[in-house]
Amino acid sequence: MKSFDFIILGAGSAGCVLANRISENTNYKVCLVEAGLKDSDPRLHIPVGFAFLGDGKGKYNWGYETEPQKEFEKVAVTEPQREMVDSTGGVHKVDAESFDHRRGYQPRGKTLGGSSSINAMLYVRGHRWDYDHWSELGNNGWSYDEVLPYFLKAEHNEIFNDEFHGQDGPLNVTKIRHENRPTKDFVETGSKIFGYNDDFNGEKQEGIGFYQTTQKDGKRCSAAKAYLVPCLEKENLTVMTETNVSKIIIDNNKAVGVECLNDKGELFSIMANKEVLLSSGAFGSPQILLRSGIGPSEEIIKHDIEHVHELPGVGKNLQDHIDYLSVHRYNSMELIGFSLKSIFYKFPLEILKYIFAKVGMFTSTVAEAGGFIKSNDKLDIPDMQLHFAPAMIIDHGRTSVWGHGLSCHVCLLRPKSRGEVTLNSSDPNDDPKIDPKFLSHPDDMRALVEGYKKMMMILNEEPLSKYTSNHVERPIDLNNDKDIEQAIREEADTVYHPVGTCKMGNDDMSVVDENLKVHGIDGLRVVDASIMPTLIGGNTNAPTIMIGEKASDIILEYWQNS
């Protein structure tokens, strides 16, 4: 049976950082376990390629769905065919249909780099207030001033060289290389109303501007590209792909190893001499803990799993950014889309631009510009984020659209609704049961309605209004809050930032302490976005990489002094 000093479960944004930093000490044998494939597909490296990875579950995407969301509108649900007997005794198969609340979609990366290999590559850290709030909740060492050095350590920024940005880190940050008039018009229009901001990660967050992106030389710079590729040849690092985790092996309240499944479904175990580091994300980490018998007993015993340690917060406190997307059809070749002209004239030119200069449409993050605004002027900090895309996006891009157009997201940054992640079964190949309970707190709907109105102030103002006014796919009466609310219930969903299900803290519902050690279990830490006690005001990839950097220092210092 193989043994390692450290076993890292999940090669996502945090897991890749841990593998790199801990393996720098050549005295430690490190194993990185990833359920997905290697990141060899070109679509994972050509920036716009993530839009062409499929319409749901796929080789590189877990493609989860939530439980029906009670605050979403009901939709028709197709059920398995039923057999009906007619008056003559004949048996007929008929299609069955019922109505249930709409489910949300939860894409998650299933490859080296995790979701950083399939996301929109935006580099956003959140607001200073978010981290100071973590510290105020009792998490010493996690204030903004204390985590900023780890953002700097991770980053190599090609645009800014100041006290807020790093220059020598593995993660390359640069500007988007897709120049187009509609995105510029969005920034010009939005800046007139809410002010211009050239750096959302600088001294202030509020305002409208262009996003920074995790790309290098026109290619995606995922956590795998930044952190894992440079250390793959190390003799003390073993990377296992297509390896699912069944459970963490606990002996006398200490994590001593991991039971895994290979790509043939065969069980095998690997042992940990020092620690197991759980980095499987806001859905995967609580799922593995529960399968390992760690968590609330009522969620474990009902699946015939041996209950090892009572920890009621495992899987609770799920938070995610609820988001509404306004879509507008406009016939312009400057906008990304499919038409005869674009296929026969624009795409061939864009392919050549990308091959020879690494610029143009194929470097697009799709969400190219945006900003941080307040739904209520009395607020101290922004509570809404905008993402502007020079393309029509329907149902997370899972619905193909013919023609050209643009879209703009408005998302609520700090929702009050709280959900949970639990098990559907003890089967490690089964999806988790995800229930964000979107909009369950009434304040979330009220704030999102106001945020939508603020977004439309930009979309209905010149010069942007030429693309948007009278071109909206789902018309809404801006003077009717009930109409706005109805549209939100029909179409709102995640903007892909689930956190909080193994929260850091010292209260009864916390799962890890400020050093990310699981309460009551030795040799086990959780290192990923699930440890966030509250959702940060922005995209979550950069903060998760920061968590990996800080955790690496905590772990290395601990064992150096042990």
Nearest one of 103, 77, 61, 57 to 437, comparing CA atoms: 103
Measured CA to CA, the distance from residue 6 to residue 27 in angstroms comes to 11
Residue 212, H or E segment: strand 212-213
Tell me, what amino acid is at 344?
F
Instruction: Please report where in the chains the tokens 């194993």 appear, as a residue.
Output: 31
Tokens read off for 226: 């930044």
Backbone phi and psi for residue 558, each to the nearest 5 degrees, phi listed first: -60, -45
Tokens read off for 265: 């479904």
Measured CA to CA, the distance from residue 243 to residue 240 in angstroms comes to 6
Name the packing angle between helices 442-459 and 181-194 (round to 10°): 110
Backbone phi and psi for residue 143, each to the nearest 5 degrees, phi listed first: -70, 170
Measured CA to CA, the distance from residue 254 to residue 273 in angstroms comes to 11
Nearest one of 210, 182, 185, 183 to 196, comparing CA atoms: 210
Measured CA to CA, the distance from residue 123 to residue 545 in angstroms comes to 11
Name the packing angle between helices 128-136 and 144-154 (round to 10°): 130
What is the 8-class DSSP label of residue 362?
Answer: G
Measured CA to CA, the distance from residue 221 to residue 192 in angstroms comes to 33
- SS (HEC) of 92-161: EEEEEEEEEECEEEECCECECCHHHHCCCCECCCCCHHHHHHHHHCCCCCCCHHHHHHHHHHHEEECCCC
From the candidates 165, 178, 409, 497, give the one annotated as an active-site residue. Answer: 497
**Active site includes 396?**
no
Instruction: Give the count of beta carbons closer than 10 Å to the beta carbon of residue 371.
Output: 29
Measured CA to CA, the distance from residue 527 to residue 546 in angstroms comes to 10
Catalytic residue numbers, as ranges: 497
